[in-house]
Structure 1
Amino acid sequence: MAKKRTPPDLSALTRGELECVVLTLWERLEALESKVAKNSRNSSQPPSTDGLRKTNSLREPSGNKPGAQPGHKGDTLKRMAEPSRIDTHPLPEQCERCGCALDQDEAEIAERRQVIDTPVVAVDVVEHRVLALRCACGQRHRSAFPASVTQAVQYGPNVRALGVHLTQGQLLPFARAAQLINDLYGIAISPATLLAWVDEARVALQATADAIANSLRVAPLVHADESGLRVQGKLHWLHVAANDSHTWYGVHAKRGMEAIAAQAILPQRIGVLIHDCWAPYWQLPGTHALCNAHLLRELLYVQELTGERWPARMSKLLLRANELREAAQRKNIALSDADKTALRTFYDAILSEGERRHPARLKPTGKAGRVKQSVAFNLLLRLRRYADAVLLFVADPAVPFTNNLGERAIRMPKVKQKISGSFRTLLGAQNFCVIRSCLDTLRKQGHGMLAVLQRAFAGNPIQPAPG
């Protein structure tokens, strides 16, 4: 039971002390209202925190009915040109009406139907034998096993690749992956064996992951993001650097510049870095661009909190600017200087309107430390201070409107953590980051994830194309 608090005697307080009490209570009330009002639609909170509330998208309804729209070509299951087997179903031996014999050789194909299915698979066991022979002169000769055959009984590269693909690509827990392999092929593999294969895959793919990191260091544009990751029951941080063709993952016990410096990708770049305005990113060199999806959610929250018009006007301006930019790109032209100037003028005017409504709070007499500002004031300050980064997508057509590419890269590791729980060891988390970096990068470049792992276990890993 919570301890009952005795209200203070306000009559004995001075004016300055009363102002401090009122300000403190106001700040606590605002913090509580903020906590209750936030959800995944108007903040960076994940949808899982919404509970049973309906989650609404920021996208406006199109007005179209669900399903395919008029004029859509559609797609359906296609007939295979070369079936693997043909079953011809014969006619009866005689006519049902007159009893005459029917000549099967004169029959024509009336209709074809195909059933596409997976074959019943069986284990492919290859026994390698070496021969020995003694020459008449006494010299003994012996043939040799292939270099990859080192044990009396061992697993081949395909089943090892499948095991790693199921756990690191498809994110199954090790026990379920082992059960699936047993159900499909009748091979009883232990989860510990799968874990050993993951270690082997990480070694085989480490050079590929290093090449990915090198490509991102010199890439003209990179998305960055980070998120919590449970390792050995403790909070660690998953760091992501990604673009259209490459993805790199790293895990570190720290979130800030210590981790960013240790991973040695972002500090060495001089191109455009797209992020969510997290403070340590501003310490990095190069040109910065902010994720406007984050800003749209924050503007929606401030609009719901204050009931004012300027957040909605700013949201519409940003969305309209992106529409103009995309229309210009479809025509292979750039926005004119007049359009860019007009957008910046409207942007500044909306900020000025908000700043008039939300001036800085002054420190009351006798109160120590900084004054906590309102949510609206802090957002306005950020939009003003980093205006060039907010609108960089207008000035540079190569810069995306959002950091969604970086955020999408975060999702699969979070899904794995949700399915399997915490990583048991730091080595396991590091293995996952190396393997997942290679799988996601090469998937972007048109390779199947299973094929990537098969090549790695065969000793000939696929190398990523430069960004």
Structure 2
Amino acid sequence: MEVEIKQCPSCERVIKGKFPVDMPGPLQYGLGVQAFIINLLACQMVALKRAQALVYSIIDVVIAEATMLQFILRLHAALENWEVRATEKLLLEAVMHVDETSLRVDKTNYWIHVHSAGGIALKKLHRKRGIKAMEENDIIPRYMGKLIHDCWASYFSYSNCGHGLCGSHLLRELTFVVETNRYRWARRMKRLLQATYKRVSDCEKKCLDDREYARLLKCYRKILELGTLEMPAIPDKPAGKRGRIAKSDAHNLLERLQKHEASVLLFARDPLVPFTNNRGERDLRMSKVKQKVSGCFRSEIYAHAYCRITSYLQTMAYKGVNPMIAIQMALAGELGGE
């Protein structure tokens, strides 16, 4: 961008044009360049040095890595209010998917916690995985709807919301038990869940009526009773030995199906509750790809920025907004009440 200097022919006064307020210096990178670099680093998961080389090949200017990281932090700060508004919208949703996955930050293990509902995907970074992280993230403790998850015990600590378990996880575990132990109860339970899911999917109401649900419940409990009889007894703990007796995967699965009966079958009762937690897993998947493609983060602030920025871009993608446009909107302060 250039500005002109003009001299008035009458009074000989020199007048110099002014740069836009967001470009105060002699060399500035516009929102388009900043958005392109942020898109490379956050969305396309290009490593810093490769992004630097790519930008140089396009504009013939070497942009320092520190400058590129400042673009990331600028967008991170610009999205602070958006994150607050997105959190409040999440709390109003009837069903919310949650999941967590590990992330390496400065050679230390952190956890990304995702909260997905409607057209919103919100990721939070925390050093812990369990209740402490959920309390400090302050989303699940305030949520009053149905929480869909993979049976991580910490989620059941919250009675303010309902709980639905991911059917895909259960089917994978049942398949493992069938293939390794050949237990008939596991094969029957897998067939029952698959048949129920198909019945619910084909039903116009997307749920079972009272009579159908009663039959499902009776069959479900019968299979678990057979499982109790089919499974070998758990040995008594030796005298003087501390701790709990280790149980097999099949025993743990059977006990979980017995304890969380209502949560396992919630999809058949509530038309808003899906059979799987695939939405939460999809919103987390690219975080693992990020580590494989361009490595871990050197400091915590950039990991926090990555979570907030990708949350925003995933949310805008659900609305059909181009990521480059979305980034420029945020940097220019044009989000408004979005």
Q: State TM-score, norm by structure 1.
A: 0.68
Q: Summarize the alignment of residues 73-92 of structure 1 with structure 2, pairs less than 5 Å apart.
A: none
Deviation of 1:175 after TM superposition, in Å, equals 1.4
Partner of 2:171: 296
Distance 1:387 1:359, change over 3 A: farther
Partner of 1:356: 229
Is 2:130 aligned against 1:266?
Answer: no
1:444 to 318, 326, 336: 318
Q: Give the partner amino acid of 2:198.
A: E
Q: How many residues align?
A: 336
- Unaligned 5+ segments in structure 1 are 1-125
Alpha-carbon deviations, 1:346-382, whole Å to 9, x = none?
1111111111122652425524333222221211110
Alpha-carbon distance in 1 for matches of 2:38, 2:238: 64
- Unaligned 5+ segments in structure 2 are none
Is 2:17 aligned against 1:174?
Answer: no
2:266 to 392, 401, 417: 392
Q: Give the partner amino acid of 1:258.
A: K
Runs of 4+ in 1 over 4 A off after TM superposition: 130-136, 138-144
Alpha-carbon distance in 1 for matches of 2:14, 2:63: 39
Q: Summarize the alignment of residues 15-414 of structure 1 with structure 2, pairs less than 5 Å apart.
A: 126-129=1-4, 144-284=18-158, 285-328=160-203, 331-332=204-205, 334-358=207-231, 360-364=233-237, 366-369=239-242, 370-414=244-288
Alpha-carbon distance in 1 for matches of 2:245, 2:264: 26
Contact 2:175-2:187 at 8 Å conserved across structures: yes
Q: Give the partner amino acid of 2:61.
A: I
Distance 1:414 1:380, change over 3 A: same
How many percent of aligned residue pairs carry the same amino acid? 35
Deviation of 1:207 after TM superposition, in Å, equals 1.5
Alpha-carbon distance in 1 for matches of 2:95, 2:286: 22
Alpha-carbon deviations, 1:43-91, whole Å to 9, x = none?
xxxxxxxxxxxxxxxxxxxxxxxxxxxxxxxxxxxxxxxxxxxxxxxxx
Alpha-carbon distance in 2 for matches of 1:447, 1:342: 46
Alpha-carbon RMSD: 2.2
Alpha-carbon deviations, 1:98-151, whole Å to 9, x = none?
xxxxxxxxxxxxxxxxxxxxxxxxxxxx21236576986x99977644322211
Deviation of 1:186 after TM superposition, in Å, equals 3.0
Q: State TM-score, norm by structure 2.
A: 0.93
Alpha-carbon distance in 2 for matches of 1:343, 1:203: 51
Q: Alignment partner of 2:101: what SS?
A: strand
Contact 2:31-2:328 at 8 Å conserved across structures: yes
